[in-house]
Amino acid sequence: MTELFQDPERARAWCAAVRAGGRSLGFLPTMGALHAGHVSLVRAALEQNDAVCVSVFVNPLQFDDRRDFDRYPRDFEGDARTLSAAGASMVFTGTLAQFFPDASPVAGAGMLDPGPRAAGLEGDLRPGHFAGVATIVARLFELVRPDRAYFGQKDFQQTLVVRDLSRALGYPRIVVCPTVRESSGLAMSSRNQLLSAAEREAATVLFRSLEAARAAWRRGVRDARALSDAMRAVLARSAVAVEYAAVRDPEKWTAGEPAGPLDHAVALVAARLASVRLIDNALLDGR
Ligand code: AMP
């Protein structure tokens, strides 16, 4: 049985009781409309912790685009069923006012600084996005006080930002889980629900562009520009509007394109299709 709370304070009390009982607690923050990618995070958390708690909150602080926020899929009851079937111990949600009872943060006031790795790519294209992510994730960590928190590699730059946040807070341990894909290669995403079957097929070009970068890496290409050119060559033959196709060193994150040959590389892509914004990435050096 998955406990269900519509009130963050009750969730806080439940988590405190778990910890007081000496049980370890795994946590994954989500925005709901849960799919197999989220379920893989629940499974990983269940393997490593005595109890697993999930938050479902479409966080307005991290949306730079009002229309994207308004049409983001929401299905709390369906999510509760998915989490019950997956074996999660507790799921909670709340409103912005419940999460921040003193004063809701707004752009420029009460938002956390997401740190240097928020610069570049997603940080440039979605101003304020990572400040909104860091602000809610820090608040959720404070409520839950998990031993471990689980994030998907799908949101690669977000994993860098939350690692920096956990380092600053001194907890929790961050576990990054691989991206779960459709058999077509398309990375699972709640936003895929907004695409028609034909658009989902067209969206596989993101994955194919990452595969092209991987193939170039295997051929010995180590230059960021040459690797991203291989991605753009694939994307150019498609219906998607590319926001970026880029390669970075995942360990020495730089806002701009790294110069010189790379030892480690992550290829990242963002594109719009039918006004739905999609992102994906792949580590190229086989890890
Ligand atoms: P979201 O609900 O989109 O905010 O995602 C909640 C968590 O699930 C984040 O850590 C995401 O990176 C992760 N996630 C989303 N999609 C996938 C996927 N296809 N595979 C693995 N993790 C994912």
Identity (one letter) of the amino acid at 196? S
Q: Could you read off the pLDDT of 261-276 as tens digits, one per residue?
A: 999 999 999 999 988 9
286 confidence band (pLDDT: 50, 70, 90): confident
Does residue 156 have a pLDDT over 90?
yes
Instruction: Determine the pLDDT at residue 178.
Output: 98
Instruction: Determine the pLDDT at residue 82.
Output: 98
Whether the predicted model's global pTM rises above the 0.85 cut: yes
Q: Which of 68, 151, 160 to mutate to test the pocket of ligand 1 (most atoms within 8 A of CB)?
A: 151
Distance 170 CA to ligand 1 centre (A): 23
Peptide bond between residue 172 and the one before it cis (omega within 30 degrees of 0): yes
184 confidence band (pLDDT: 50, 70, 90): very high
Q: Are 120 and 248 in contact (CB under 8 A)?
A: yes
User: Cα 244 from chain centroid?
Assistant: 17
Distance CA 275, CA 194 (A): 10
Distance CA 132, CA 161 (A): 11
Q: For residues 248-254, give the mean pLDDT.
A: 96
35 included as an active-site residue:
no
Q: Could you read off the pLDDT of 69-108 as tens digits, one per residue?
A: 999 999 999 999 999 999 999 999 999 999 999 888 887 7
Instruction: Determine the pLDDT at residue 106.
Output: 80
For the CA of 38, the closest atom of ligand 1 is: 8
Instruction: Determine the pLDDT at residue 287.
Output: 59
Q: Is the CB of 180 under 6 A from ligand 1?
A: yes
